[in-house]
Structure 1
Amino acid sequence: MKIVSKYPVLLVLCIAFFIAALFQCKGDKHTSINEDLSVVKSEISKTNAAFEKQINELIVLVSENADEKTIQGKFEQLRITYKKMEWAVEYFLPNSARFINGPALPEIEMDEHTELEPEGLQVLEEIFYPYTAENKEESIRYLKKLINKSNTIKTNFQAITISKDQVFDAARQEIFRITSLGISGFDTPVSGTFLKEMPYSLKAVQLTLQQISTEKSKTRALKEIEVAIASAVTVLNKNTDRNTFDYVNFIPDHLNTISSLLLEFKKQEGIPDIEVTSALSKNAATFFSENAFNPNAFVPGKEYAFSREKAALGKKLFNDKILSNNNTRSCATCHIPEKAFTDGLAKSMSLENAELQRNTPSLNYAGFQHGQFWDMRKDDLEGQSSDVISNKEEMHGDLNIILGKINQDPQYLPEFRKIYETQKAETWQLQNLLASYIRSLAKFDSNFDEYMRGNRSAMTENQKQGFNLFVGKAQCALCHFIPLFNGTVPPNFKKTEQEVLGTATNGDNRSFDQDPGRGKFHQTVEALQHSFKTPTLRNISKTAPYMHNGGYKTLKEVMNFYNKGGGKGFGFKVDNQTLSDAPLQLSEKEIDLIIEFMEALNDR
């Protein structure tokens, strides 16, 4: 009491300072997590230094005409070293990562209609498997380019500041990258060494979490993560054969377990969410959790954000013939729910009942793609809707006339006003409502999803074998990425890929289909000629016939086409084919098992 009476002003000031500091900590999300992360950056720099050293060693081996086995052995070491820092490079330097370990395909600058030469580890893999001395100079050229990329890593990680929430987010994304791209062998399509590499990716995540952990998690979540990763590594070390590995159990038993434990680690460490809209929910325990995906990562702006109210009104409009000329056709005319929102015809039919150029694509899961229509001519669903409505052969509608009707409609207008808080309906709102309904069509409730959520009776034994073939021997997951099974690349889902398959006019595979696809809009870009968007395989058994031209009547015909090596396998001249032309050597029984698995992708 004496102290209080003697120093009343000092005591009040101390209390005020403590309260102010407390509120400042609560208001600044980064205050409590900006610990010294130099140890993390130091580890990245150390790994990158080893990466550069191994590149130089490989240059020496190639220069001295080392034998193929020696070169391949050193190259595999180099890839493993990259895997130890992949989590950081992919997250903090995504543009550089594309040229370090991206597909051995040209990078397309769409706006400039130009192609950039592919480079990096996947290009070198194609050179080294198999390797001949004729490729010496080319090998050295690409290896020197890789040194430049290593220098970029060094320079950037010396300069940038990283935070604990970013490091955690990067580590979490790496687990999802392993669950989709890693486990499919996406970046080792020729050598197939991905199962040997995955332990190093997992251990790199473990080390990173150890470096950012505190006593809050060390004896709890972190310890469980370490046990889970050790268990996964044990399984991986026992079998590295892509054709016999048990993918269907490894994902739920190990990878889903690890990704779930990461959320507990995040909670125990008090790590906040990264304030960036992403396709994968920040609170999704696994790729297969309910509501794991955020449709707002695919909308053109905040005002287009998805809501159930928008989807409900969009459904009414979708089924209303008010959108077409003379009220003769609705969206539902060609997109039938029972057929996964396709029409069951080889090609769409015009208002005059004439056959159009392409097959009607499914609208299920269309909201999780960057690029609509087979040729990807529209970036999003909003653009797609207006294109169809105004197309004289499809609906021949006039948006101004339609809006005039809606603004005089006693049912529609009040709902528009309620949702958008405007006096009159506008074009973008109409587009957004239709797009919102389509975004609501992704159910994620198939038997496959149930199986991955822990219900081991959800898939049959044949379907489980089919999935293992789908990911392994058949290599389907190289283009139809888990878990969306479309061409939108995980774990960021910021890009949707197109492929050149060399598709024939029909399942007889006797003549090449001349449709330029996306190439129509990029005529000077050779890589895009005859390219088409990779669609989802979810609900695929309901959407026959298949391919952009509807020329393949059954999934068996489609699988036979792939099994042969696509168009090149049938003798078509398709110099830019992105699908491997190597026969898959699938038996009739194996093809049937894969088809049976794909039935497990049907929503219920």
Structure 2
Amino acid sequence: MKKLSKYPVFLFLYCAAALFILYYCKNEKPQPVYEDLGSVKQEIIKTNSAFEKQINELINLVSEDADEKILQEKFQEIRKTYKKMEWAVEYFLPHSARFINGAALPEIEMDEHTEIEPEGLQVLEEMFYPYEKENKDEVIRFLKKLINKSNTIATNFQVITVSKNQVFDAVRQEVFRISSLGISGFDTPVSGTFLQEIPYSLGGVQQTLQQISTEQSKNKALKAIVAEISSAIAVLKKNTDKNTFDYAGFIPDHLNKIAALLPEFKNQEQIPDVEVTTALNKDAATFFAKNAFNPNAFTPGKEFAYSDEKVGLGRQLFNDKILSNNNNRNCASCHIPEKAFTDGLAKSMSLENAELARNAPSLNYAGFQHGQFWDMRKDDLEGQSADVISNKEEMHGDLNVILAKINQDKKYQQAFQKIYHSQKTEVWQLQNVLASYIRSLAAFNSDFDEYMRGNKSAMTANQKRGFNLFVGKAQCAICHFVPLFNGTVPPTFKKTEQEVLGVAVNGDNKVFDRDLGRGKFHETVATLQHSFKTPTLRNINKTAPYMHNGGYKTLKEVMNFYNKGGGKGFGFTIENQTLSDAPLHLTDKEIDDIIDFMKALDDR
């Protein structure tokens, strides 16, 4: 779909129409028919018209060599206008949204091993902060590309049907987007103006809910939502300094309350669910709720659906040496529960007791990512389990031999038959039960989770300061996204990111680690060389040593590496480093507070 950005607008219209047909026809359940919400579409078109007008005004200012401050002010106006309609563009035109406000990194076509030039607001932000007149032509070129995307928005919203349940779903996603990407400054990494923009995102949410509401909710849930949004905006207007803002107070006291009121609005308006499988359960009040996440959104297909029976059988096999060639090793040999399913070694040991290439990653929360292993060479946990079992250095097992053993074991045979209703166990079923067990290793019961659910005493004062630094000054949350704290991007959680950090062989930071990571499988893609998956920080206190090579013994060493600006900060030449090389200027006390906060991510 990303390739469509190269083609004329009519292809966008064709794909939009096709997507909506598939959206409804793929389900057996008859979908409720809603009248097309023309007023909502007209408001989007109106906002987009203002967006385009402001872009043209900025082009004129750039052409006239206006002062940098004036250019930055006009650019901020453009961003704020986009934020008003962000909920709609991100939901109905996600591929266009990627090129309007996506990260200033090339879009990668994995199958073709090619890169597509980044564009949009984040690319322009880097050009305006600071602005250099010699880049005038490039700035105008990217602004004109942005106008093309604005035209795509206008054309699409004139023809697509927008129904009430879709609009509600889109608005709900926007609240979660604000609570994760928005509040971390993910899309303003240079200017840091995100706290000034959130009121416009919230304003778009409020206006849209008011448009689709009836008398059923106006004096009930809607009234409460409007009050909470007003309260949140008042707090945001008092302090827009990202380094001193109280994120630890704002998220539970305001954003979570807005999110929790949305199900009430939905019930009062009698809005049915949009019938698609999503990472966030439809009834989750916030994404900090105990059962907010749906593991089935991360499985290869319906037959791989998660169940307690599969988890139980997978647990038995995970701890059974039947999976290895000589019955002398099981999965738990390298993934120890007490160590958050790592082994505590810098690098895992082979069957011959030789050091392997990388550190054993935690299996906790591994089910909530698209890309397994440090180099993301497998898409899902099913593929991951087969790779490990058959690896001659790790378990040296043969899946067909293992199946023969299982089919000769009456207890295992009966268990598989009960779950899959087949006479003979198949390879995919073995993979699926192991993957199901790993998907169960996400407790979401840390002190941080309790705090976000309303228990204000669950975190200490130091940990709250640490969280504020984590989100604000240290910018950790723009890669380790709340609430999973990994690289799976909220609020749709359909993509897991990798980063190039410039990691050294150890915490001395004197020798660059030459491991190509994901780049090994995409040799012609420059941006992927030395890139590695962004892992979860949940239970990070239990999983030392750190990084893909296990070279960093303590969290203090890790934080010092980030504080300096990653590999570039230590003098390594890494053209494609995605981590900002700007020093964070964290004090020792601030680093200690961040580490203390990360301890609050330990499951109980």
Bin the TM-score by the shorter chain. Answer: over 0.9
**Aligned residue type for 2:240:** T
Question: CA offset at residue 201 of structure 1?
Answer: 0.3
Is 1:90 the counterpart of 2:90? The answer is: yes
Q: TM-score, normalised by structure 1?
A: 0.95
Distance 2:274 2:365 in 1: 26
- Which SS does the other structure have where 1:200 is aligned? helix
Match of 2:18 in 1: none
Question: CA offset at residue 145 of structure 1?
Answer: 0.3
Is 1:322 the counterpart of 2:322? The answer is: yes
Distance 1:252 1:317 in 2: 40
**Aligned residue type for 1:157:** F
Instruction: Summarize the Cα distance change of 1:426–1:228 in structure 2 as closer, same or farther, 3 Å threshold.
Output: same
Distance 2:30 2:217 in 1: 22
Match of 1:391 in 2: 391
Match of 1:30 in 2: 32
Match of 1:9 in 2: none
Decide whether the 8 Å contact of 2:36 with 2:162 is kept in 1. Answer: no
Distance 1:36 1:566 in 2: 50
Decide whether the 8 Å contact of 1:502 with 1:567 is kept in 2. Answer: yes
Distance 2:408 2:64 in 1: 81
Distance 1:184 1:326 in 2: 49
Match of 2:603 in 1: 603
Match of 1:553 in 2: 553
**Aligned residue type for 1:71:** L
Match of 2:12 in 1: none
Question: CA offset at residue 290 of structure 1?
Answer: 1.1
Distance 2:132 2:495 in 1: 35
Match of 1:523 in 2: 523
Question: CA offset at residue 135 of structure 1?
Answer: 1.0
Matches within 5 A, 1:24-103: 29-31=31-33, 34-103=34-103
Where has structure 1 moved over 6 Å in runs of 4 or more? none
Question: CA offset at residue 30 of structure 1?
Answer: 2.0
Match of 2:471 in 1: 471
Match of 2:17 in 1: none
Match of 1:124 in 2: 124
Is 1:251 the counterpart of 2:251? The answer is: yes
Decide whether the 8 Å contact of 1:29 with 1:272 is kept in 2. Answer: no
Question: CA offset at residue 37 of structure 1?
Answer: 1.1
Distance 2:399 2:220 in 1: 59
- Which SS does the other structure have where 1:179 is aligned? helix
- Which SS does the other structure have where 2:112 is aligned? coil
**Aligned residue type for 2:426:** E
Question: CA offset at residue 599 of structure 1?
Answer: 0.2
Match of 2:493 in 1: 493
Distance 1:102 1:410 in 2: 53
Match of 2:503 in 1: 503
Give the superposed CA RMSD. 0.6
Match of 1:134 in 2: 134
Is 1:421 the counterpart of 2:421? The answer is: yes
Match of 1:13 in 2: none
**Aligned residue type for 2:172:** R
- Which SS does the other structure have where 1:108 is aligned? strand
**Aligned residue type for 1:368:** F
Is 1:405 the counterpart of 2:416? The answer is: no
**Aligned residue type for 1:183:** I
Matches within 5 A, 1:301-316: 301-316=301-316
Distance 2:109 2:159 in 1: 28
Distance 1:58 1:188 in 2: 18
Match of 2:284 in 1: 284
**Aligned residue type for 2:434:** L
Is 1:431 the counterpart of 2:431? The answer is: yes
Distance 1:414 1:115 in 2: 49
Distance 1:202 1:281 in 2: 22
Match of 1:18 in 2: none
For residues 44-89 of structure 1, give each alpha carbon's deviation from its aligned partner in whole angstroms, at most 9, with x where no partner exists.
0000000000000000000000010000000000000000000000
Decide whether the 8 Å contact of 2:184 with 2:478 is kept in 1. Answer: yes
Q: Structure 2 regions of 5+ residues with no counterpart?
A: 1-28
Aligned length: 576
Distance 1:202 1:143 in 2: 26
For residues 13-49 of structure 1, give each alpha carbon's deviation from its aligned partner in whole angstroms, at most 9, with x where no partner exists.
xxxxxxxxxxxxxx85424xx2451110010000000
Q: TM-score, normalised by structure 2?
A: 0.95
For residues 348-396 of structure 1, give each alpha carbon's deviation from its aligned partner in whole angstroms, at most 9, with x where no partner exists.
1100000010000000000000000000000000000000000000000
Is 1:363 the counterpart of 2:363? The answer is: yes
Distance 1:281 1:182 in 2: 21
Distance 1:272 1:176 in 2: 19
Distance 1:344 1:553 in 2: 10
- Which SS does the other structure have where 1:115 is aligned? strand
Is 1:221 the counterpart of 2:221? The answer is: yes
Match of 1:346 in 2: 346
- Which SS does the other structure have where 1:284 is aligned? coil
Decide whether the 8 Å contact of 2:259 with 2:285 is kept in 1. Answer: yes
Match of 1:270 in 2: 270
Matches within 5 A, 1:106-121: 106-121=106-121
Distance 2:159 2:571 in 1: 52
Match of 2:539 in 1: 539
Distance 2:108 2:308 in 1: 37
**Aligned residue type for 1:480:** H
Distance 2:94 2:379 in 1: 21
Distance 1:275 1:245 in 2: 38
Is 1:572 the counterpart of 2:588? The answer is: no
For residues 425-482 of structure 1, give each alpha carbon's deviation from its aligned partner in whole angstroms, at most 9, with x where no partner exists.
1100000000000000000000000000001110011000000000000000000000
Match of 2:19 in 1: none
- Which SS does the other structure have where 2:408 is aligned? coil
Question: CA offset at residue 411 of structure 1?
Answer: 1.2
Match of 2:14 in 1: none
Match of 1:3 in 2: none
Q: Structure 1 regions of 5+ residues with no counterpart?
A: 1-26
Distance 2:364 2:101 in 1: 31
Is 1:156 the counterpart of 2:156? The answer is: yes
Match of 1:22 in 2: none
- Which SS does the other structure have where 1:216 is aligned? helix
Match of 1:14 in 2: none
**Aligned residue type for 1:540:** I
**Aligned residue type for 1:481:** F
- Which SS does the other structure have where 1:327 is aligned? coil
Distance 1:410 1:301 in 2: 28
**Aligned residue type for 2:32:** H
For residues 308-348 of structure 1, give each alpha carbon's deviation from its aligned partner in whole angstroms, at most 9, with x where no partner exists.
11000000000000000110100000000000000000001
- Which SS does the other structure have where 1:161 is aligned? coil
Instruction: Summarize the Cα distance change of 1:180–1:351 in structure 2 as closer, same or farther, 3 Å threshold.
Output: same
- Which SS does the other structure have where 1:325 is aligned? coil
Match of 1:181 in 2: 181
Distance 1:135 1:587 in 2: 36
- Percent identity of the aligned residues? 79
For residues 258-284 of structure 1, give each alpha carbon's deviation from its aligned partner in whole angstroms, at most 9, with x where no partner exists.
001011000000000110000000000
**Aligned residue type for 1:358:** R
Distance 1:272 1:28 in 2: 12
Match of 2:26 in 1: none
Distance 1:480 1:290 in 2: 20
Question: CA offset at residue 91 of structure 1?
Answer: 0.2
Matches within 5 A, 1:5-16: none
Match of 1:448 in 2: 448
Distance 1:236 1:336 in 2: 44
**Aligned residue type for 1:133:** K
Distance 1:425 1:30 in 2: 41
- Which SS does the other structure have where 2:115 is aligned? strand
For residues 228-252 of structure 1, give each alpha carbon's deviation from its aligned partner in whole angstroms, at most 9, with x where no partner exists.
0000000000000000000001000
Distance 1:39 1:498 in 2: 40
255-264 vs 35-44, which deviates more? Answer: 35-44
Decide whether the 8 Å contact of 1:102 with 1:121 is kept in 2. Answer: yes
Decide whether the 8 Å contact of 1:502 with 1:574 is kept in 2. Answer: yes
Decide whether the 8 Å contact of 1:504 with 1:511 is kept in 2. Answer: yes
